[in-house]
Structure 1
Amino acid sequence: MEFQRPRVAAIGLNPAQFDTIEPLCGTLHGAASWAAYAKRFSPFETDIAVMSEPQVLTIPREINVLVLAPQSLRTTWFHPRAAGVSGEIVLRSKDNTEHQLRVPEDCPDIYEELASDLAKRLWRDSEAPRTISATNDWEAAPEHLIETTTKRPVALRYQRTNMGQGKGLPIVTLALPHVDNLAEWFRAFLHDVHKIAPSRVPTPPPRLSQPSDWYTPEQNRVAREMSDIDVEIERLHQDRRRLEHEMRAVAERAEAGILRALWSDGDDLVAAVEEILSGIGFRVRNMDKEKSPGERNLEDLRLTVPDDDKWEAIAEVKGYTNDTKTSDARQLREYRDLYRDESGRFPDMTLWITNPHRRRDPSSRPSPNVAVGDAARIAEAVHIQTVDLFRIWRDVTERRMTSEDAIRLIRSAQPGAWTIPTPHAEQQPPNNPTA
């Protein structure tokens, strides 16, 4: 019988935590304690353990561990050719009075943004976070993800590669305080384990917690057909295989095309935004393509509309790994001035189109902060995120919204941080001054 990996043990997790990581697991079995888990499942058939507040616990070192708030966690490993324990790691939480936290420069990239967000949340708490102590019996020093002023770890990662005589797979231990986004940490942890021990996590976890939320129209169409076919799977088996192949093809086209608006920056992002705006119904000029050698740079795009030849907007497109950089608003003001010098008037609209937090699942990206809205208003620009443009484009492409209504919606936005109005609030103005 074929088993699915990763095989995950959930130890001491509450139901909400269990449910949030289950979609990322091959198999997931829960228990109140490691002892209770070991009575029903073999450690040798466990790739990963996710634990909350383990106390006086000893587990085999062959298992990758993500642990929250360890009270006392002891992991052991054994020499492959000799009896007895070869080494051990002990983690414990300790009281702490240092409130100021930092993410070290050598924090692994895969955890950097999560660690930065967690450090900010912990800093806002009234109580100083507990630190994590570790024994000195390490093959190498653990990597600090978050540390206090005196460099005591609040969150850490440890990788063991020498399992004795060159035997065994590399193992990762990730120790964190309690987090409210366990699924995002677990997804990063699976990427981590996949990179060093792909037999434990054969394929990287999906980037999206709900992939169907970000299907293209082609993917939505195929998914609906697949659902119908499943009712009579035997009779329609050949059709099912055809559609699975088609889904892979359209997903690859989407990733290489329109979905670059969710993940890319630079020229790829500009190209994807140009395709989206054209699909909505704007006439779009790419100013870099029109620029002659030696000419100064202008904004990325200029927009006109079919029914109003006098209206014209300029658009600057930016991608960011983290938050939108408010300093870029200065560039928008410069482009507005250049347009005035060229045309004798300011553009009818200035769009600041951004793809912030582009490495994160679009469903969990934070809203623009107040500073972004203020910077946009000062520059007399409308700050709009590519995730909102994608939703509008999809509605137009799937004919849930007319091109005229979509253009009218965008043109009605006022300077500041704009988000797409919710369908529940028809009277809500397009501009969101609190974003």
Structure 2
Amino acid sequence: MEFARPRVAAVGLDQERVDAIEPLCGTLHNVASWADYVERFSPFETDIAVMSAPHVARFPRAIHVLALAPRWLETHWHHPDTRGVTGKIALRSENSTEHQLWVPETCPEFYRELADDLVKSLWSDSDAPETIEATRDWEADPEHLVETTIRRPVALRYQRTHAGQGEGQPIITLALPFVDNLGAWFRSFLQDLHEISPGRVPTPPPRLLQPSDWYTPDQLRVARKIADIDSKIERMRRNRERLKDEMRVEAERAEAGVVRALWSDGDDLVEAVEELLAGIGFQVRNMDKEKSPSDANREDLRLTVPGDDTWEAIVEVKGYPNDTKSSDARQLREYRDLYREENERFPDLTLWITNPHRRRDPSTRPSPNPALDEVARVAETVHIRTVDLFPIWRDVAEDRMESMDAIRLIQSARPGTWISPAIGDEHRSQNDSTADGG
């Protein structure tokens, strides 16, 4: 999954400050502390940390930091010159009695206008501003953005080199007091980072924090079209979620109903096949439900056709963990003979409906054993697998096939293994190729 740059950790910020920087972030994660952050997210997938409140942050790689009124912020990184040595910069806000502030000449251009505004804002306060104490390390001194009379920083920028993996990378720490225009400071910070660390901030930040306030009529026209598309997408997303919930309900209903014909055996399989045949359009009798304790065993189902009192079929249903057992054909012959004794004629059709390899995915089950075709012919039965019967039932249910056409399709079946019309041509082609020695 792609995450937009820059990837920002908002650590210890209140919601107002999070809202101020979020429009400028590619990916933003808001957490209470750095310890919380590293438990949930990886520093190796972090470009910038915007931090407030006390923290000790150990960075295994270069992460740029914007620190707000740091009571105590300690960041560690790998020293660029001495292998295995970890450097540290600690920032701490301290009380001050100095009221006079200015922006030194060394203030980088990115921040000069914001620094001037900060001075004006702090001058209006009756209390002296807090200053920031920073440790000094192997590299250059921090750059003061705003300082007091004796050059103690109220806001600073510190650049150093992080040599964690491979060549050294510049890393910036920007320390500020609490400001009312955090979004503007963060934008300048991103511009600063874009120039020295374009891998972390690949594109410069937008010039406007609220671009829509300054759209031209043509931009407004395009923005409205985008908003309309976004609205449609959201409606479609909600509808998709609703349909996914509906699909889960339907899947549970199907698994408890006709789909059992693809997985079950025993009574569950008989009930599922009964539902399939009734859905195709047959009138179905469950013979076990009509059987009294003294009656002889009969086939599982009997079929008739609406409006035709002269035609009747008997159906035996079997499930198998592996291939269909050819020895079960004997039972079909016995049921045919019993039917003849009771009705003085054989049934018009004898169906041997099976669910072989029932533990395998139906799409990967092998073709019927060719030997079963001859077994079924001798027994005067039509061998049909449930995986071939299911698509016929579904076509009828979806009105892609007339019920009477499906009934006639099965009525016209001849003894042997029945091949679904959907694969019949392919099956016959393979048989012809085999007969020709292909």
Q: Give the alignment's TM-score, normalised by structure 1.
A: 0.51
Residue 48 of structure 1, CA deviation:
0.2
In structure 2, distance between residues paired with 1:74 and 1:60: 14
Q: 3-state DSSP class of the match of 1:170?
A: strand
Kept after mapping to 2: 8 A contact 1:139/1:162: no
Residue 222 of structure 1, CA deviation:
1.9
Q: Deviations over 1:209-262 (max 9, x none)?
A: 2211111111112222333345667xxxxxxxxxxxxxxxxxxxxxxxxxxxxx
Q: 3-state DSSP class of the match of 1:173?
A: strand
In structure 1, distance between residues paired with 2:34 and 2:105: 35
Distance 1:203 1:95, change over 3 A: same
In structure 1, distance between residues paired with 2:71 and 2:150: 21
**Of the two, which has the highest radius of gyration?**
2
Distance 1:71 1:58, change over 3 A: farther
Distance 1:164 1:40, change over 3 A: closer
Matches within 5 A, 1:52-67: 52-60=52-60, 62-67=62-67
Quote the residue 1:420 is aligned against.
none
Matches within 5 A, 1:112-191: 112-161=112-161, 163=163, 167-191=167-191
Residue 127 of structure 1, CA deviation:
1.2
Equivalent residue letter for 1:63? I
Quote the residue 2:101 is aligned against.
101
Equivalent residue letter for 2:2? E
Distance 1:230 1:133, change over 3 A: closer
Residue 51 of structure 1, CA deviation:
0.8
Residue 53 of structure 1, CA deviation:
2.5
Q: Deviations over 1:336-358 (max 9, x none)?
A: xxxxxxxxxxxxxxxxxxxxxxx
Distance 1:201 1:85, change over 3 A: same
Q: Deviations over 1:346-400 (max 9, x none)?
A: xxxxxxxxxxxxxxxxxxxxxxxxxxxxxxxxxxxxxxxxxxxxxxxxxxxxxxx
Distance 1:124 1:186, change over 3 A: same
- Structure 2: unaligned runs, 5 residues or longer: 234-438
Distance 1:106 1:210, change over 3 A: same
Q: 3-state DSSP class of the match of 2:169?
A: coil
Equivalent residue letter for 1:186? F
Residue 161 of structure 1, CA deviation:
3.7
Kept after mapping to 1: 8 A contact 2:34/2:55: no
Quote the residue 1:7 is aligned against.
7
Higher helix share: 2
Distance 1:147 1:119, change over 3 A: same
Quote the residue 2:47 is aligned against.
47
Kept after mapping to 1: 8 A contact 2:44/2:61: no
Equivalent residue letter for 1:9? A
Distance 1:81 1:123, change over 3 A: closer
In structure 2, distance between residues paired with 1:131 and 1:157: 13
Q: Deviations over 1:162-182 (max 9, x none)?
A: 638971321110001111111
Q: Give the alignment's TM-score, normalised by structure 2.
A: 0.50
Quote the residue 1:75 is aligned against.
75
Kept after mapping to 1: 8 A contact 2:33/2:55: no
Distance 1:147 1:232, change over 3 A: closer
Number of aligned residues:
234
Quick one: percent identity of the two aligned structures?
68
Matches within 5 A, 1:215-364: 215-230=215-230
Quote the residue 1:270 is aligned against.
none
In structure 2, distance between residues paired with 1:155 and 1:61: 25
In structure 2, distance between residues paired with 1:55 and 1:165: 24
Quote the residue 1:20 is aligned against.
20
Matches within 5 A, 1:401-412: none
